[in-house]
Structure 1
Amino acid sequence: MAAWGEKGPTWWPGEVRQYARLDSLTNGTKGRLIVRLPVEWAFHRDKQRLGVDRQYASQAVDLTFFNANKDRYTLRSLKDYPDQWEMLRTDLYAQAQGVRDSDRQSYTGDMWYRTDMELTVDQVQGKTHLMFPGLFNESWLYINGEEVAKCERKKLWWLNDYAFEWDVDLMGKLKTGKNSIALRLNCEHHFCGLFRRPFIYEETYRRSWD
């Protein structure tokens, strides 16, 4: 069986070139890697778009239901997952992991990703950026509960730039110690969510494509 996500094959030669370019942001050429964010993040479906009012960006993530029931769900039955937090990979789009509407059609509506990380004084002092190397949808980024950036996307995913990158300047937004990252996405058609693992880097050289 073929591997998926980070361990899987590249899509096209353009993806190989994209990763070579992204490598310059982490290998000291144009930036240095601060931290690779986890492959798996907490995830919440938000079909009715109530998550802002429910404070999904800042509330404590409760994985009690997921931990107690994760083994009973399959890719086919995950369409019926209840209104609870779960865990999802960030290197494979959501529908491929079972996130679908109840009729098995492509999920539409909001979705939330959440993760925490610990950072040192040295890691937060520079020109820090959060890079989403693959993100399909219109998105809002929250750092420690505060909305800090919005990513515009065309409604039909195939009308957007192939790379699907979002590079967010976080200078002055991160703090020493625990930081919470929340990402809200609005999926209107077909593919949804993250499909390449995010990372934080420090800019050390002005990039030629800026």
Structure 2
Amino acid sequence: MDGTSEILEQAIEQLAKLPGTGRKSARRIALYLLKQNEDDVMKLANALISLKKSITRCSTCGVISDGDPCSICENAKRHTGQICVVEESQDVFLIEKTNEFRGRYHVLGGVISPLDNIGPDDVRINQLMQRVNDENEQLEEVILALNPDSEGEATSYYINKLLKPYEKIKVTRIAYGIPMGTELEFIDEATLGRAFASRNTF
């Protein structure tokens, strides 16, 4: 367009792809960055490049991490008999803030969603079952902490069904004092902490 900067428009176009960011917000961010000194902008740019190039996923639990294995899986003080199953890495970060859980995690990387053509083989359920069958894990409890929506519920029931034959493993789910359809990301720490403390048998 005449009278505008093509470089600025390219930046706005890329920023507008961020979740919850429309073109107006993207333009505001781009203009804000233009006003900052070069060092600060370069720090942001380098942080984004490092995020993409250096961050990995733990081969054991699947959480986003700086190293493999992650610090949680590597921590000898964590309770090895408990695995908390969550949908995404952000759920691990939220639960860790509550200080209510001292076991380890398993990140599915999604949930079963037939409408989106996502089946059990498209999420990390097979890897969970490998851990269940690993004698070194010595599992006593699998805690299901998936979002209380239809996909999360379907995935929880599917995993519970797979675990039924394992009589020594207790399957529990966190208690939700929240409305159906609300994602863990939007729950305050106190509510999530109480839900975790009062989890019940699946």
- The TM tier, using the shorter chain, reads under 0.3
TM-score under structure 1 length normalisation? 0.23
Using the size of structure 2 for normalisation, the TM-score is: 0.24
Bigger proportion of residues as helix: 2
User: Larger RCO: Structure 1 or Structure 2 (Cα < 8 Å, ≥ 6 residues apart)?
Assistant: 1
Larger Rg: 2
